[in-house]
Amino acid sequence: MLQPGDERAQKIGKAIASQSANDILHALQEMPKTAGDLASALSMPMGTVKYHLENLLDAGLVEVRETRYSVKGRQIKVYGIKDQLLIVAPKVQNIRSILLKYATLFGIIVLASLAGYAMLPIMTAPAGLGGEDVARFQGEKAVGVMAEPAPAAGVLPQGPAPDPVLAFFLGGCLVLLILLVYEVAVWRKKI
């Protein structure tokens, strides 16, 4: 995890700023190659390839996978892309900014849940009912006028159906809580 002002983030930015460096990275994705292989495959001068390889090595994006020796006894390096995940994210200054971010996300979950409750009567009305019929059906359902059919023999009656909006709200809160605990733990490690 890198922060935009870090020295390594600056090195990475410098190393991949050139189209030639990007071409080298794409060529190395297929398989590891020597500088000579890259120069001939990309039709680049050897000096250009070596310059960009040094920048990519210094930034930690490329590594020397193996060393071979030519017929004349010269050392030949085989380069490959370093297997890693890089994330560049802004630095969190204090716990207040973390809590503010999650409070905002919690507010979005609350608003989405309220919108879900507002739309729930429309989504749960039986098919084929018009607007007035939906209102009458919901009024009868609330008063208990409509009788429910008796369960079949040997079938246990089911409890009330789970509320999908409540499930959404509780699931969203759980995810936010897990993310908040993780982010606070990471923040405390850095202190």
**Comparison of pLDDT for 97 and 161, the residue scoring more:** 97
Please name each of the domains of the chain with its CATH number: 7-81 (1.10.10.10), 95-149+159-190 (no CATH)
Question: Which residues 6+ apart lie within 8 Å of 166 measured at CB?
Answer: 113
pLDDT, tens digit (0-9, with 9 covering 90-100), for 106-140: 999 999 999 988 888 777 666 554 555 555 555 55
Tokens (6 digits) for 108: 């979005």
Nearest alpha carbon to residue 67 among 24, 34, 30, 29 = 34
Residues 6 or more apart whose Cβ sits within 8 Å of residue 58: 11, 15
pLDDT in tens, 20-78: 999 999 999 889 999 999 999 999 999 999 999 999 999 888 999 999 888 888 899 99
| Contact (Cβ atoms closer than 8 angstroms) between residue 137 and residue 126 | yes
Residue 69 is given by DSSP the state E
Q: pTM for this one?
A: 0.46
